[in-house]
């Protein structure tokens, strides 16, 4: 699958966007890197995929990608979900770049809703697709008001919500898109990654960029940025724990997808990060259900 | 009721020729006074007399057309409120000041629990211990006589009197030095009013807060305030110690106001 | 047996082939040509040009064909193409006063210089399905005016303006904003709002405009003038002291005249709501004019109480390409987030059952 084409077979500019647009986006990215966690407005363009399907991430990727880059695209942790396939083939077509499913081979990774299990390096950039960049949006619907709240660091309302969760459920009931505070200043939406992935955001060697196309915002976490998940001292942030390891590769301490096996309630848990799972199985790891079935995804990828 | 004023103390709030117009129409004009720590000042008058305009200007919720309002910050410095930045103004409003609205729904967050309503100010100034926030909420609910087992209930399920007591707790949790009250007992039953007034009077004395109470009800003014300012058509027509003004009104308008209430 | 639930490339490619086949339909029926769409579905073409915000009839017709007649999808195709076009410059404002008028009506004056020109309109037709159209029946040739006149007609609002009865158009203060090149911020200036409305979804703006007529931001509108026809597009070239014509565009313009305002200092005047759209799109131009006027509430010192007056609400939600994308993204997998919620609800239920169980035990003791 990962074959570099000689030359893009399209009448479009390299990576689709014209160079002026790319420069505009790069300026927004630079500003975002300079002010970690701050949402920089940018003049988002219409892209050939729908809003809400990754147009922000695609524009960030398009403005950064060069002919020597190796691109990986994941959606829900997997390389073979429909939207990941679609975005990967888009860049293969309009930029002619090499693509990969292996995290360690990629120089640029565009993701929706997951951070890869394998730690990233300084030579990698992780681009998140963001649907709603404003962490305060569901507490205050008005942009004019939320921008003021960010400017004045008025984040008390955020904790009111967490307080209510604890009062009602005994613990914080936010499981994904769990808000974080960046370098002690801006409260930021990490995109709808499960809160399981939040600890991977802090102090990461990789540059992390967030693009929201429909909402026209870019924000960033420069390498080695301090990122804290909001919590209370006596109700500290905690990630999900799974009661069993991956059924295929036996991994624990990773995020798992639940797979329904039959209509009698039978189910199993498998790695959400398909590359991680395949890598482990190639290295000889076996989960307790691995012998009983074929390799998932193999038939679809052919 | 005599004011607990320390003669050597500087005023907390100093108002100089405060004037506010709405286009051509006058809101209030040339209002000047000082308010001292621990002192309760009642502003009385009919509707349209300018007392609500005055309140909104003092509480920095509305811009002045001319004049100045100065406030002594916790560091002792007198600051012109118009010169405060938005961040400073908001910080002042959620720490050192309180504002009790006539309609509790305007001052409460109706979609979160009573506990969260009381705890919000604490969280806004950086309190990050759930147990302590909840403890303060619990403590304040009992001080304002809201049953503490209602801590997780929505204010929507509260009666009018209970909502008003909750609003007071929400304001007082950061120990403000100055509280603005806009007809705090308006819209409540007479028996509920009396209990609420007793509560406010006790809390103000206990916490040694200064308060500025706007009311059309002279009975409220008599019960709560040390000093009274009578307003008519945007101007102050009479001012003085509460007992003196109510027992021996000098101006014809004040005499009319006083004589129009039933003597008990 | 475990079955891979995640889609693969082969499945997607197959789905796209099936789509292409469905688009074509029965091969025994001749394929629709782009020219046929251009000629016979011209109002659909105009809508796609307008909301696609690219004046190219042929591309719009192609988009309609490719989108199987789904106009929002066609608009989306045109927008995505528009993104790739470099910008060479900006034209001078078009002068609709010099329009070669094909249709021009006024609801405020029975007769006026230039007259009422009905043009091609559905107005006054009986909406009876015409079985003759099943066949190839050719319509009777339309009558042509003996004296087509000059074409150019003074705008009704200019006539009112001369007498000072209507607020003047605001003087431009420098470079207008550009919705497609600069991020939107609120409150948006009027020219940016107008750009958003011109690209906005006809159905959404129609409903909002309608709501203003039903009392949600009532502004007592009169359709002072609706005109449709071609206007010249000109560009200024540096070093030349005259402007150079580039070509002609067909546009529809609607000028609504609304309830007046005045004050002690200024005499009462009518206020304006403005709509201008590519092609022949009367409903859209009228809805736009109603919305424009409603969005001027703050500027005109009116209370902002209705949805149509809320700039942030209207402008943030009027774009159907944005709206359709985000609504339809709910089709994308959300396994990860759902898994997290599933885990939480199981835990909450388990805790609930533990509590209930505990209470029952207590009660039993």
Predicted local distance difference test score (pLDDT) of residue B262: 54
CB contact under 8 A, C76 and A46: yes
- CA distance linking residue C243 with residue C233, whole number of Å: 10
Closest A-chain CA to B128: A232
Judged by DSSP in three states, B2 sits in coil
CB contact under 8 A, A46 and C11: no
List, for residues C289-333, the tens digit of each pLDDT value.
999 999 999 888 888 889 999 999 999 999 999 999 999 999 988
What residues does each domain of chain C span? 10-82, 96-120+151-168+180-323
- CA distance linking residue A201 with residue A229, whole number of Å: 10
Q: What are the pLDDT tens digits along chain A (302 aa)?
A: 444 444 545 678 999 999 999 999 999 999 999 999 999 999 999 899 888 889 999 999 999 999 999 999 999 999 988 889 999 999 999 999 999 999 999 999 999 999 999 999 999 999 999 999 999 988 888 889 899 999 999 999 999 999 999 998 888 988 899 999 999 999 999 999 999 999 999 999 999 999 999 999 999 999 999 999 999 999 999 998 898 999 999 999 999 998 888 777 788 899 999 999 999 999 999 988 876 544 444 333 33
Residues of chain C falling short of pLDDT 70 = 1-7, 146-151, 261-265, 362-365
Residue with tokens 């939480």: C344
> Does residue B69 register a pLDDT over 60?
yes
- A240 sits in the region (left: phi over 0; alpha: psi -120 to 50; else beta) called beta
Predicted local distance difference test score (pLDDT) of residue A185: 96
> Does residue B139 register a pLDDT over 70?
yes
Quick check: A134 and A39 in contact, CB under 8 A? yes
Quick check: A108 and A72 in contact, CB under 8 A? yes
Q: Which residue has the higher pLDDT, C337 or B15?
A: B15
Give C3-50 as a DSSP string. Answer: ---S--HHHHHHHHHHHHHHHH--TTSPPPPHHHHHHHSHHHHHHHHH
How far are the Cα atoms of A175, C119, C160 from residue C103, in angstroms, in the given order?
59, 5, 20
Q: Which of B115, B124, B152 sits opposite A156 (nearest CB)?
A: B124
- CA distance linking residue B72 with residue C364, whole number of Å: 62
How far are the Cα atoms of B81, B82, B176, B209, B221 from residue B37, in angstroms, in the given order?
18, 21, 11, 6, 18
Contacts of C344 in chain A (CB under 8 A): 173, 175
Element holding A112 (H helix, E strand): strand A108-112
Predicted local distance difference test score (pLDDT) of residue A10: 66
Closest A-chain CA to B85: A152
pTM of the model: 0.82
CB contact under 8 A, C340 and A142: no
Q: Which of C7, C312, C326 sits opposite A51 (nearest CB)?
A: C326
Q: Counting beta carbons within 10 angstroms of the beta carbon of residue B79, is it exposed (0 to 12), middle (13 to 18) or buried (19 or more)?
A: middle
What count of other Cβ atoms lies within 10 Å of the Cβ of residue A154? 20
ipTM: 0.87
Averaged pLDDT, B100-123: 94
- What single-letter DSSP state applies at residue B233? T
- CA distance linking residue B112 with residue C117, whole number of Å: 60
Residues paired with A182 in a beta bridge: A186, A227
Please give the torsion angle defined by the CA atoms of residues C335, C336, C341 and C347, in that order, rounded to the nearest 10 degrees. Answer: 110
CB contact under 8 A, A17 and C79: no
Predicted local distance difference test score (pLDDT) of residue A295: 45
Helices marked H in chain C: 9-24, 34-40, 42-52, 57-66, 71-83, 156-162, 190-199, 202-213, 282-295, 311-317, 320-328, 335-364
- Among C255, C277, C247, C319, CA closest to C46: C277
Q: In chain B, which among 128-147 make CB contacts under 8 A with chain A?
A: 128-131, 133-134
Quick check: C179 and C278 in contact, CB under 8 A? no
Selected residue of A13, A16, A50, A144 to mutate for chain C interface (largest C Cβ count, 10 A): A50
Query: Chain B closest CA to A298's CA: distance in Å?
Result: 49
Q: Is the dihedral of CA B20, B25, B27, B32 positive or negative?
A: positive
Q: Which residue has the higher pLDDT, A138 or B84?
A: B84
Averaged pLDDT, B30-50: 93
> Does residue B75 register a pLDDT over 70?
yes
Q: How many inter-chain contacts (A to B, CB under 8 Å) are there?
A: 55
**Token output for B214:** 């706007």
How far are the Cα atoms of B42, B177, B207, B225 from residue B3, in angstroms, in the given order?
13, 15, 14, 9
Closest C-chain CA to A53: C329
Q: Is the dihedral of CA C210, C215, C216, C221 positive or negative?
A: positive
Backbone angles phi, psi at C101, to 5 degrees: -75, 130
Predicted local distance difference test score (pLDDT) of residue C6: 52
Predicted local distance difference test score (pLDDT) of residue C110: 78
Averaged pLDDT, B1-28: 83
Query: Chain C closest CA to A85's CA: distance in Å?
Result: 6
Element holding C275 (H helix, E strand): strand C269-278
- Among A123, A129, A89, CA closest to A108: A123
């Amino acid at each position: 699958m990962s074959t570099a084409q000689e030359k893009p077979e399209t009448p479009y500019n390299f990576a689709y966007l014209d160079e002026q647009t790319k420069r505009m986006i790069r300026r927004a990215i630079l500003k975002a890197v300079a002010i970690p966690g701050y949402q920089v407005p940018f003049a988002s363009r219409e892209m050939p995929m729908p809003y809400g399907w990754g147009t922000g991430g695609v524009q960030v990727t398009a403005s950064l990608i060069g002919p020597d880059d190796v691109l990986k695209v994941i959606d829900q942790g997997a390389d073979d979900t429909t939207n990941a396939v679609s975005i990967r083939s888009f860049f293969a077509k309009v930029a002619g770049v090499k693509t990969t499913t292996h995290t360690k081979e990629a120089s640029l990774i565009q993701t929706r809703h997951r951070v890869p299990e394998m730690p990233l390096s300084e030579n990698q950039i992780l681009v998140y697709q963001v649907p709603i960049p404003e962490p305060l949006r569901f507490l205050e619907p008005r942009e004019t008001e939320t921008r003021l709240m960010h400017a004045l660091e008025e984040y008390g309302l955020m904790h009111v919500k967490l307080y209510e969760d604890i009062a009602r459920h005994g613990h914080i009931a936010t499981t994904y898109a769990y808000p974080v505070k960046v370098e002690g200043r801006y409260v930021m939406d990490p995109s709808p990654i499960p809160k399981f992935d939040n600890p991977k955001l802090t102090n990461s060697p990789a540059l992390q960029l967030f693009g929201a196309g429909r909402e026209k915002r870019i924000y960033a976490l420069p390498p080695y940025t301090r990122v804290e998940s909001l919590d209370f001292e006596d109700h500290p942030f905690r990630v999900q724990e799974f009661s069993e390891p991956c059924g295929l590769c036996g991994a624990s301490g990773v995020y798992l997808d639940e797979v329904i096996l039959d209509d009698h309630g039978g189910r199993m848990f498998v790695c959400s990060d398909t590359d991680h799972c395949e890598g482990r199985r190639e290295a000889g790891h076996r989960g307790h259900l691995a012998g009983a079935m074929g390799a998932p995804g193999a038939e679809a990828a052919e | 009721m005599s004011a607990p004023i320390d003669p050597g103390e500087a005023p907390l709030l100093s108002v100089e020729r405060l004037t506010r117009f709405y286009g051509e129409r006058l809101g209030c004009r040339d209002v000047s006074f000082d308010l001292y720590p621990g002192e309760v000042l009642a502003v009385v008058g009919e509707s349209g007399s300018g007392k609500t305009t005055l309140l909104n200007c003092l509480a920095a919720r509305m811009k002045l057309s001319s004049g100045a309002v100065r406030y002594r910050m916790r560091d002792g410095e007198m600051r012109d409120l118009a010169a405060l930045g938005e961040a400073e103004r908001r910080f002042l409003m959620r720490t050192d000041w309180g504002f009790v609205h006539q309609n509790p729904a305007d001052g409460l967050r109706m979609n979160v629990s009573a506990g969260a309503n009381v705890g919000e100010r604490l969280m806004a100034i950086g309190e990050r211990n759930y147990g302590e926030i909840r403890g303060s909420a619990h403590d304040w609910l009992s001080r304002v006589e809201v049953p503490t087992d209602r801590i997780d209930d929505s204010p929507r399920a509260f009666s009018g009197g209970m909502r008003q007591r909750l609003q007071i707790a929400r304001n007082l949790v950061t120990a403000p030095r100055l509280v603005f009250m806009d007809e705090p007992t308006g819209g409540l039953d007479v028996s509920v009013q009396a209990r609420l007034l007793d509560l406010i009077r006790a809390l103000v004395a206990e916490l040694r807060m200064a308060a500025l109470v706007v009311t059309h009800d002279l009975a409220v003014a008599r019960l709560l305030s040390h000093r009274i300012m009578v307003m008519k058509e945007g101007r102050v027509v009479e001012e003085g110690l509460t007992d003196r003004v109510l027992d021996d009104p000098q101006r014809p308008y004040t005499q009319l106001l006083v004589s129009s209430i039933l003597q008990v | 047996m475990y079955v891979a639930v995640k889609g693969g490339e082969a499945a997607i490619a197959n789905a796209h082939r099936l789509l292409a086949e469905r688009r074509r339909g029965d091969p025994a029926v001749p394929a629709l040509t782009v020219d046929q769409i251009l000629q016979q579905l011209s109002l659909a073409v105009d809508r796609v040009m307008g909301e696609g915000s690219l004046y190219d009839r042929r591309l719009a017709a192609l988009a309609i064909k490719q989108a199987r007649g789904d106009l929002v999808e066609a608009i989306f195709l045109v927008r995505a193409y528009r993104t790739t076009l470099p910008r060479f410059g900006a034209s001078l404002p078009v002068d609709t006063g010099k329009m070669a008028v094909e249709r021009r009506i006024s609801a405020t004056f029975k007769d006026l210089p230039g007259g009422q020109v009905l043009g091609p309109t559905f107005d006054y037709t009986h909406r009876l399905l015409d079985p003759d159209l099943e066949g190839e029946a050719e319509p009777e040739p339309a009558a042509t005016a003996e004296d087509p006149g000059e074409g150019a007609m003074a705008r009704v609002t200019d006539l009112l303006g001369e007498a000072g009865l209507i607020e003047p158009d605001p003087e431009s203060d420098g470079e207008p904003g550009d919705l497609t090149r600069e991020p939107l911020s609120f409150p948006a200036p009027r020219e940016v709002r107008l750009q958003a409305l011109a690209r906005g979804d006809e159905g959404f703006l129609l409903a909002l405009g309608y709501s203003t007529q039903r009392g949600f931001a009532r502004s007592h509108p009169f359709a002072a003038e609706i005109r449709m026809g071609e206007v010249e597009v000109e560009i200024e070239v540096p070093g030349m002291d005259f402007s150079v014509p580039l070509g002609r565009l067909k546009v529809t313009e609607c000028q609504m005249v609304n309830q007046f305002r005045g004050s002690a200092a200024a005499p009462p005047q009518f206020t304006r709501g403005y709509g201008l759209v590519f092609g022949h799109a009367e409903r859209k131009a009228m809805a736009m004019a109603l919305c424009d006027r409603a969005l001027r509430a703050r500027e005109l010192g009116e209370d902002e109480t209705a949805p149509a007056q809320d700039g942030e609400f209207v402008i943030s939600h009027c774009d159907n390409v944005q709206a359709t994308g985000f609504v339809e993204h709910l089709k994308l997998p959300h396994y990860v987030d759902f898994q997290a919620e599933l885990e939480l609800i199981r835990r909450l239920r388990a805790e609930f059952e533990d509590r209930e169980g505990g209470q029952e035990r207590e009660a039993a003791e």
